[in-house]
Amino acid sequence: MNPHAIIKIQMIQGSRRCLWLGLLGSIPLVGLPFSLAALWLAGRVRKKEKLFWNAAKSYRIIGTSFAAFFAILWSAVIIFIIGNIIWFGWFAHD
């Protein structure tokens, strides 16, 4: 098979995976690893896009947008929860 065709197929599959991982990132608190995986995968697909046209580029863009938003959101929620646990655990006045 043509090596260029294989790279294009991998790009399209990677873009679709990025979309699904980005959407799975919307799961409360558990979605953070999915969002980070989508962002990592988007970077790999983006490298290949510099060489070839990606028919599923919109999937990658939408997935990356969802992943970035939910990665920031869930990171902030986790930091808030852990911060409150530490704050009220150490400085609780009984």
> Does 93 have pLDDT greater than 70?
no
Contact (Cβ atoms closer than 8 angstroms) between residue 35 and residue 25 = yes
Lowest mean pLDDT among 1-5, 7-11, 30-34, 40-44: 1-5
Q: What is the pLDDT of residue 94?
A: 60
Q: What is the pTM of this model?
A: 0.87
Can you read off the two tokens belonging to residue 69? 């938003």
Rounded to whole angstroms, the Cα distance separating 10 from 3 reads 11
Residue pLDDT, tens place only, 31-56? 999 999 999 999 999 999 988 998 99
Rounded to whole angstroms, the Cα distance separating 11 from 15 reads 6
- Residue holding tokens 């869930």? 74
Rounded to whole angstroms, the Cα distance separating 79 from 85 reads 10
